[in-house]
Amino acid sequence: MKAKSDVKILNKKAKFEYIILDRYTAGIQLFGTEIKSIREGKASLVDSYCAVEHGEMYVKQMHIAEYRFGSYANHEAKRDRKLLLQRKEIRKLEKATKDTGKTIVPLCLFINEKGLAKMEIALCQGKHTYDKRQSLREADDKREIAQIKKFAQFS
């Protein structure tokens, strides 16, 4: 059994842009050198999303950089990758995305204890601009409180 990896690739914009309604952990089907690039941390979830096609879930627009030691058999950087979920979960997500304003967004790509690549996805609803302003205000308040606590410790 392999040791747990420190690889954790986050979609930082997702929590700011969307209200997270439900979370799922899915396996991801990778080819050849893709897992090696992920282990090096050479992947990005920016602008990626998930979609259901023909009863299967795919992550689209996810970028995994080409492996630097790869040969002619290196992988394509932005291809659709199949997510491994149970059928009932896929049906539930497909039904939920039929509602207006809901989408499936990848939150995190990580390597689990067994050395397998997993992706945390979420059913999300888009935030309005006033919700985004509220999120920024809360982050500023937390930062100010942390600074006051830090200053109080040194006084």
Percent of the chain beyond pLDDT 90? 46
Domain hosting 80: range is: 8-127
User: Residue 83 in contact with residue 49, Cβ under 8 Å?
Assistant: no
Please check whether residue 91 lies inside any domain of the structure.
yes
- DSSP SS3 for 68: coil
pLDDT of residue 50: 93
User: pLDDT by residue (tens digit) across 43-92?
Assistant: 999 999 999 999 999 999 998 888 877 766 677 778 899 999 999 999 99
Please check whether residue 79 lies inside any domain of the structure.
yes
User: Residue 104 in contact with residue 122, Cβ under 8 Å?
Assistant: yes
Please check whether residue 50 lies inside any domain of the structure.
yes
What is the token pair recorded at 102?
């809901």
47: left (phi over 0), alpha (psi -120 to 50) or beta: left
Give the side-chain half-sphere CA count within 13 A for 81. 28
Helix, strand, coil percentages, rounded to 5, for the chain:
30, 35, 35
- Other C-beta atoms closer than 10 Å to the C-beta of 1 total 6
Q: How confident is the model at residue 1 (pLDDT cuts 50, 70, 90)?
A: very low
| Structural domains in the chain (count) | 1
pTM here?
0.78
Q: Among candidates 1, 12, 4, 32, which has minimal Cα distance to 106?
A: 12
| Model confidence at 94: pLDDT above 50 | yes
Please check whether residue 96 lies inside any domain of the structure.
yes
User: pLDDT by residue (tens digit) across 129-153?
Assistant: 877 888 889 889 999 999 988 888 8
Residue 44, domain CATH: 2.40.280.10
Please check whether residue 134 lies inside any domain of the structure.
no
- DSSP SS3 for 30: coil
User: Residue 49 in contact with residue 80, Cβ under 8 Å?
Assistant: no
Please check whether residue 12 lies inside any domain of the structure.
yes
Please check whether residue 106 lies inside any domain of the structure.
yes
pLDDT of residue 2: 52
